[in-house]
Structure 1
Amino acid sequence: MPRGERPLEADGGPLLEFAGRLRKVREQAGSPTYRDLARRAHYSIATLSGAASGRQLPTLAVTLAYVRACGGDEREWELIWRRTAAACTVRTVGPDPDPDRAGDPASAPYVGLASFQQSDADSFFGRENLTSKLFEHLSKKRFLVLFGASGSGKSSVLRAGVLPKFSGTPALVLTPGPRPLEECAIQLAARAHITSGPLHAELASEPRALHRVVRQILARSPNPPDELLVIVDQFEEVFTLCRSAEERDAFVAALLHAAQTSDSRCRVVLAVRSDFYTHCTRLPTLVDALADAHVPVGPMTTDELRAAIVRPAARAGLTVEGALLAALTADAHGRPGALPLLSHALLETWHRRRGNALTLAAFQAAGGFEGALAQTAEAFHSGLNDMQQKITRRLFLRLIALGEGTEDTKRRVPRHELDDTSDTLLVFEQATRARLLTVDRDHVEITHEALIRCWPRLGGWLSEDRDQLRLHRALTEATAVWNSLERDPDSLYRGVRLAAVKDLPKEALTARERAFLDASESAERAEALRARHRVRRRRRLVAALVVLLVCAVTAAGFAVRSQRIVTAQRNHALALRAVDSSVALRTRDSSLAAQLALAAHRLEANEATRNGLLSMLPRTLDRLVHAVAVTSDGRTLATALDDGGLRLWDLTDPQHPVRLGTVAGHIDSAFTLAFSPRGNTLIAAGQDGEIRLWNVTDPHNPRLLSRARTHHTELIFSLAVSPDGHTVATASYDDTIRLWNVSDPAGPRFLNKLIGHSLNVKPVAFSPDGTTLASGSDDRTVRLWDVTDPRRAHAIAVLKGHDNFVDALAYSRDGRTLLSGSDDHTAILWDVTDPRHHRRLGRLEGHTDVITSVEFTPDGRMVVTAGEDGTVRLWAAVNRSRPVERASLTALSQGLGTVLPLSAHGTIVTLTYDHTVEIWNTDLSRARAHACAHVRVPISRAQWSRHFPGLDYRPPCTARP
């Protein structure tokens, strides 16, 4: 019988508490023998029994092997081990060798996230080879561009490596910020003891000014040095923060001229993040200079890493445990952006040192290589109250410049941009103490961009709503401009820009930004009031001008100008009135209506006359129609008649549609229709709860293949066919979706019932690759289902954004975008490239009633929507985040149920609520060309005079022979 374990002492501290919990895990597993545990864990019996003895803390690997062998939760035990290691480290840390410096960050041999400065040269190790290479390059040439990943140590090697080697040479180190030329002027003016304003203006107009000021600075020195070393750190800020291309080009031109002129007294170094290399190649003046001036910064070798770890510690009288050195070099080797993480992990390990030894246990207690930074950031965040945590979120988001095709970067923010509340100052103090922020008298910035990559909470904040962050960033910049111009009213937001930022949460804005918005809204209200006054004044002026035109013979010049104004206003009024008249005449005299719309557009081409002309020209194809469907090539149309019959049409030439076959049906046989992808099968679902499949390979002789009960208990609203034609989805008011196998059209087979929506399911749509099914519902959501295997289909995402029922869905041809239409009068574009990580793009707002149908045009560049407000609207959607309305077509009926694009360019088919199928031409040039085809009798002179009084008789269409 095995011998029992030695009892543990009561209240023995964190180590014995850890051993007791480990023993409890073994008991819960049925108290297996240590021989059995050793066989499962692949560690010796002595190692495993020692782990639970309470005499010392086992390694993390042994602990996890012990827990795994007992069937415990490894993730939970990793956290338990780290907390215990931290507690044991605190209890065993001996007195600091120098009590006066204990806990003082200045005495630490490592700088953490901060860059090494010139004063840290004595403790900067590991980059000797690179430093020598850069020094040799600068000794021979006057221009250097240092490329490296974020965290590769560019700033440190320049400040603590290169600058000390130029000890007798004065240096100017700057970061560009949002106004690089202004920052350069301020730094140079301070050295030259001149005013920065005139220098800024001179630099903007003349690149040679920088070279002249450098010579002036050198001449002022009592012992004039030969040259000045200019280092521009974080040069990528000229792309991320600077919004003026002119200022960016002037800044680069000034630097290059100063370094390349024949009597140059300046050596210029640019430190650039490597992912901005292509941005640099877009500057023509910089491309030629890059040819023999760029030097890459790669990851440190193993020997260099050992030097960077061990030599600062040895200089401070510390030792580095061999296991810790091996772990750190293994983690950091081959990772170009790992240096700030390494330095921070070493600093946190130093805080948890045992006497004068840096140990692996202390490193693991700090959170490990990447976890140390996240642990520090989380500890800082958890130490704040709720209000301070909200301030922290807004502050850190404000300190980041969002990447456009590149990684996000840090942003240096002036102190005056931030509120100066007591909570804000406390957050500054705590974040600075944790070395997460660098705060000086005038600016605040994140200490290193590694924090953006390694703090999961910050990453989550950034990913929640990047579009809103960009709006906020633009508002911040506009506020700064407004204040710099002494609150000039002309710099305030108006119109679309003001409307876009009104939805930003007020608590996220600073007092300066709220003042800017308040001033913008006041200015817009005042401008609207002035506009109304102008309209009234203009009306009075027009009346006065009419009188003056009669009697002011001597004021000929003024009269001519007034006549032009009156003529333009008259033409505008006549054009709008003619459009209104054409709408009223559409049902009574379509020929005259078309001529009025065409003449109005020729008189004045504007949005109203364009929409009026397009709305005049629909061709009625069929009546008493209940549902429509079009083949994927847009050439064949099926209509379901109210009497239950089906009719097929050839729309290869929409101007001359050809009726193909007709099928007699029975009542309720087709409430919704869909073609198979190849167009050889037509599928219908009726109010009788059945689905029917027709073979339409010969469209002149459609043939019924099969019919099947769906067992839906309520109305079938819609159906969709998968791209391979094998699966049909039916959506019903019984809150369910049913999937059918129709690979054999003669025998449809039920596959699966999808449950998840809480109210009526309306539209369904398959993605182009057939792996995803989208469904919309009266529960105001869109659900995405993985239907790779229809028998095991399951929900993978829920899209929320509509305020009312979802009535229409459509996928783009590439499957990357989903469009949804709703009873809330809007449609939304969604990025579903990865359905599980979808995001909302643009919102289409313009309809005044329910949106009943949405579709993408075949080329994917336009979106078509139809609604119960009786309009079809076309939207340019090349930029999915900012769709723009291009046209609005008004139908005669009070509502439109369906809209379908055809193969012919600019042609669509609609089904109205009065059961009429119409063909529309949305291309304006074609509409003008074919407008007269609708005219039976040209407009008479009397009709022309009534609708266009004062204009010469110019009928837009002549009589046809």
Structure 2
Amino acid sequence: MPRGERPLDEGDSPLLRFAADLRQLRTNAGKPSYRELSRRAHFSASTLSDAAGGRKLPGLDATLAYVRACHGDEPAWERRWHDLAVVMAQSKVSDGPSPYVGLNPFTTLDADRFFGREALTHTLLDRLERQPFLAVFGASGEGKSSLLRAGIAAKFPNAVVCTPGPDPDAALADALAHGPDLLVVDQFEELFTLCEDEVQRTAFLDALLAADCRRVIAVRSDFYPQCAQYPKLAEALTDAQVLLGTMTPDELRRAITQPAASVGCTVETALLTTLVAEAAGRSGVLPLVSHALLETWHRRRGNTLTLSGYQAAGGIQGALAQSAEAAFATLDDEQQRLAKHLLLRLSADGTRRLVPRQDVVGEEVLDVLADTRLVTVDEHTVAVTHEALFQAWPRLRAWLDEDHEGLRTHRRLTDAARTWQELGRDAGSLYRATRLAETTEWLTRARPELTGTEREFIGASRTLERRRSRRLRWVAAGLSGLLLATTATAVVAVQQRREVDRLELVRRSQELAETSAALANSDPDRAARTAVEAYRTYPTVEARGRVLGAAAEASSGREISLDHAGMGRSLRHNGAWSTAIRNGTITLVGSRGIDTYDATSFKQLRSVPHEDKSTYIFGWAMAGDGTLAVSEGNGRITLRTGPEATSVPFVTTPLPVGVHFTDNDRSLLVGGTVYDVATRQKRNELPVGQITGPYAIQDDKVLAVASGSSVTVWDLTTRQRTGGFALGSGFIHRIVLLPGGKQAAVSNDEGLVQVRDLATGVIVATPPGHTGGPVTSLTPSPDKTVLVSAGQDGRLHLWDLARGTTLATLTIGRAVVNLTYAPDGSLAILTENELMFWPPGNMPKASGQAVRALAVDSDGTVLTVDGAGVIERRDEALRPVHRQETGMAQNWMGRFSPDRRLVATSAPFSVRDVATGKPVSPPRGLGYRTESHLPVALEFDGRSVLAIGGEVPDGLWPVDETEPTLIGGLPWGQRTSATFGRSDHEIVLGREDGGVSVRDTKTWSEMALRSPHKRPVRALAMSPDRKLLATADDNGVIVLWDATTWQQAGELRGHTQAVTALEFSPDSTRLASGGRDSNVVVWAVGDRSMWAALRGHSQPITHLAWRPDGTAVVSAGADAMTVWPLDVEKALTSLA
């Protein structure tokens, strides 16, 4: 029989009356069982029972679900819930300062009540004695700020804490002005989320790394990839990383009990047990624990924090939401509207966003939110106290979820208004028809609170649009006559209706394009179909870019079908799930037995069925001499040796465990115990206990063990734990230690694949995952340059480990069970009934070198020179055709001649024949001026090399060995880019200060152009018809110049970071640009508009080249090369 409902506690509190009335509502509904209520409400039975339990205020969602299931009045109960939340929030004990800080981080003044991280604090202080720079990585909510402020900074007499904010240069300068002995940079991720100026970022990092004091930075772990993009920072982080994980149960106990003890209070045992059980092992939970303790403190009984007080506060899950709802309920309707818009403004895709104090409307609202500690206010800015609020408060989470597009519209408006202000309110940066209409629709629907600058920007945009409309009306007015006027009015009405319909199609097309981009890695087929749908809906720039991007991916050679993979022979089998290939023998293992085959003839040598039919083979390992160690499902371990694979009992364990040969096959690891193979005697116990899940061992020194979704890492020589991490969801199925023992690749049952740093646990890379089930196999190539994954989706992904990009995806068409490499380098692919071999000559290879020069020859083949000076020719799908060594040890930059017969290179500076790799003029061994003087620009017209920076003086260096023409007039380092001008004796130079100048190399006369660039000019390009010059700067602004008059001819904006590459199409009608934002943009030169935005790279773009017929552009970045076909109709046909 079902258990009866627990009686309510005695008393007459508002909470008990609320619970009693919920129970009465259930009685009035016929007293359905909680299982039936669960079915109706889609909430668990235990949640609904707790809602009427009277021990704590239930969540609003659970309350309304309960009421709905009992056919109650939802609006009435919602009002009652809010009233009760206010009453409970007011029923607090307020005497004395709280020892708990709530959502706020501990400060340097809180060291006496900061507990739980003492051991880590001591370790960090010891490391700071030995090294001047440390970086603490951790998930949001793990206590990074508190550790650095109350744990570390408090120990230094002159420590200074700062955050980067939107102006990191100023923040750092102000901090260093105090002459600190320790500089703590908290919320380091603000450098990427709040600062949009790439130059400021770089300057901040340079100044930080050069500061003459000890420095510690706190970084959210999901921003590790952004840190890795900056070489100096990446180098500084090499041995300076600390991963802050979840607190251990003992650390939690101290963090909970000791602050109370410091003020003479105690924590009830039941409360301590409950808190530790609810918080242990959960990432990001510390702010919620701290807030729940603060609220429990206010509800303490005498000097004791009680479980009942904790439950009344709402517990870990509900305390923050309850406090937020109580504060929100005290506001009137207009104030609640202001609060909503303020909180949305304070979010930037789930991270804190600083808002200037003067931009906040509603001081009373701000006071209420600040008093509740939901927001933090200082003299200049307002911010959410902690990002935990975004997830813990259902109302705010719903606001964020309900209008993603509106939030993006608001962000775009904020950025556009700021740009307009920075450009002196230039009318050219105002919104026009389509964007203004979209924003106006959102303003009407959402009624957001705008800043003064945003309102003025919208007003100016509307004024400009009215002027444009007025001019159109004046034209219409010239068509006199009442009939004509009436007709014109009707036409305008029809046009307006059509414009509204068009804007809706534009919006829908952009949404579909965004969806296609999001699916590009996980489901490329669906991404392609969605891209086509987007373009068919309306040919927006975004849709065009996605169609071309999907076509580029499909034709890149990275998508390989089984028919085109060049597979070798295959072997049929029956039910094997693992394979090994050694000593000329193929061994296939299945749950019911072991089969062996000759690796050359595929002739079966023997089939050994599993002897005990009541169990199965759980795992196995093979020694170098072919001996098999087999782990059975009943815990029995046997050794199989000799031609007949005779089974010899070895040892029995309580549970089925993994086995692994170690110590040159002299020892066998069984679970967590090491045995001597010859004597079967126990040699030692590993510090990890029994290993029953996936694990990996490298060089008998590093052990990584998976359990559930977590991995722990051990040093087997010291027997100490050295790291660990958690995926956050799913069960880990595979783990592979990568070369060097510092990184591991892991995969889980949800199809996820990640590369993690073992010391810090941060995500280094996220290779493509698999759909429809778990990742079934994960293995590195024999040369350790490629990681191969396979899944039940029938696809193999080959991932370039060095460059962090996908080499290829092979579609098998059926589930893959296991992967292994054969001694000859072939990849053995095991499916449920076949073992296929992919020969090494037909598999894509990882290059490991960045592209330093790029061109497309007249036959459509792609030419490159890499960082080792190797010249390579590739076909139109970027498959290698010819490789030419040059003998150079390194090469920093290169440029092909217009006829593609010669290539100029730096380090050493030389001109070489593309076909032979031989120098046509002797390399000039002048040496670098300093170590840091790497080449800035290299241009080659076939006769002379224009070299800026690097190992030779700036100037024109003829191929025929006549005397060079040197460029004077500027100190080294002031020039940032160069190109040939309108004629053979004219060059164009870009400068560090944003200047652009034209020089005549015969007379050395110089003309400085009136450059609008405010930042260094990194890229220049002259159109093939010599009529246009394009220049681009670190702000992402491209300026077009009329080369006949050297007057500005237009401005192009579309990149969010520095533009690093420019290239005109052969017919001069289009311009391709690439930037540090990893995007390639194709511009229509004639109308100065963006034609397509091509997104697919994960690293900054370094080189661009056009096919001679202009039908495609090739881009190269730090990650990969891509050929982007530009014929939209062909692309649509290929994707259909």
Same-fold status (TM-score > 0.5)? no
Rg comparison, structure with higher value: 1
TM class by shorter chain equals 0.3 to 0.5
**Taking structure 2 as the reference length, what is the TM-score of the superposition?**
0.38
Q: Which has the higher helix share?
A: 1
